[in-house]
Amino acid sequence: MPKRLYEIVAADDGEFPSKLMEWGGLDELWEKNQLSHDYNFLTDVAENCRHLEISTEHWGGDAPGLSGIWYAASTRDCDKLEQEMAALVQKLIEKKKSENP
């Protein structure tokens, strides 16, 4: 029997990456290593996680401030997802250090 799918984070497009980072306990590590200068948490970490399912829903019209994208993140294994996200962030830290010795 497959494991249940758990929604772990749901937020508007402007808040989703930081909320997901907070859920994984990676926000302080991300900031400490100033990764936002070189990387994007959504595209460089979240979208590369096998244990994460991301769904999107467009809301509103086309008017700025009155429309956007609602993101929802779900997983079947919270522990494996946390480990996977942490490993991907660690790889970015190592990559940044090797490029800027």
Neighbours of 12 (CB within 10 A): 12
The number of residues making up the chain comes to 101
pTM: 0.88
* Both structure tokens of 11: 């937020």
74-97 average pLDDT score: 97
For 48, 60, 99, the CA distances from 64, given in Å and listed in that order, are 29, 10, 38
In the chain, the largest separation of any two C-alpha atoms, in whole Å, equals 48
Would you say residue 1 has pLDDT above 90? no
Residue 88's φ and ψ, nearest 5 degrees, are -65, -40
The pLDDT tens digits for 17-73 are 999 999 999 999 999 999 999 999 999 999 999 999 999 999 887 777 778 899 999
pLDDT above 70 for 100: yes
CA neighbor of 25 nearest in space, from 88, 82, 96: 82
